[in-house]
Amino acid sequence: MATPAPSLFELAVRSTPVEDEHEVVAEWRRPDEPLVRRSSTTRIDPGVLRDAVDAVGYGEALGRMVFTGPVRELFSQARADPGGLRVLLTVEAPQLRALRWERLAGPFEDGRWRLLSHSQRTPLSLALPSGSDRRYPPIGRDDLRALVVVANPEPDNRYRVEPFDEAGALDTVLEGLGEIPSRVLGKDPRAQGPATLAAIIDALTTEHFTILHLAGHGAFAARREG
């Protein structure tokens, strides 16, 4: 027997004309079923979250402000869907975007609040609104093209990081891309240029790529002021 497809629970947090008031809109989308929509008015106060001592406490405090009234009732129904549930959250209220939404918790059937992102039953995705008004056309399979950058350090480099198997790394990437066209930057014989910042910028500004894949070492360097 085939496993039922998961349903989608979309949450949107919006501002209202009333100061310090917010609207939460929930839409439950199931395969071959009509959309179910509910909304509730709430007050999401960032000050309440400052007293949270850990991620779970923060997530529950935030969740209790989001899941209220009809939205909470609809989430309870959707959570019981046998196919599973994916949660997609969009924060449209600009003054709330700095909150730790990845910690959002929801109410479960045992009365406990759990971080949605930590539950396999309710994986959480955040949709981040763009500050740009530029519109991007849909991308189809035929539009896919990858820029693959393999930054393999030289031996005895000043960062003291070990070189890696560049050919093996590139083989893995190209195998994963399959029939998707690609251009490679690196030292491998299959590369069409060096893996330098200038070469990456030139490739991205002169050609159209829908995929950028980087293979290399990484490190965090704190920026010092003054």
Of residues 224 and 26, more confidently modeled: 26
- Say if pTM beats, i.e. exceeds, 0.85: no
Bridge partners (DSSP) listed for residue 148: 184, 213
Q: For 121-159, give one letter per residue: b (16+ CB within 10 A) or e.
A: bbebeeeeeeeeeeeeeeeeeeebebbbbbbbbeeeeee
Tokens of 52: 């949270």
Cα–Cα distance for residue pair 191/97, rounded to 1 Å:
41
In this model, does residue 59 exceed pLDDT 60?
yes
Query: Which is it for strands 22-29 and 36-42: parallel, antiparallel or unpaired?
Result: antiparallel
Beta pairing class for 113-115 and 105-107: antiparallel
Q: With contact defined as beta carbons under 8 Å apart, do 123 and 102 qualify?
A: no
Straight-line distance from the first to the last Cα atom of the chain, in angstroms, rounded to the nearest whole number:
65
Q: How many whole angstroms separate alpha carbon 216 and alpha carbon 194?
A: 13
CA gap 4, 10 in Å, rounded = 19
pLDDT tens-digit map of 117-165: 988 888 899 887 666 666 667 677 888 999 999 999 999 888 888 999 9
| Residue of higher predicted confidence among 110 and 178 | 178
Residues forming beta bridges with residue 36, ordered by sequence position:
28
Task: Name the token pair of 90.
Answer: 């969009």
The DSSP secondary-structure symbol of 1 reads -
Supply the pLDDT for residue 226: 44
Q: Give pLDDT, residue 40.
A: 97
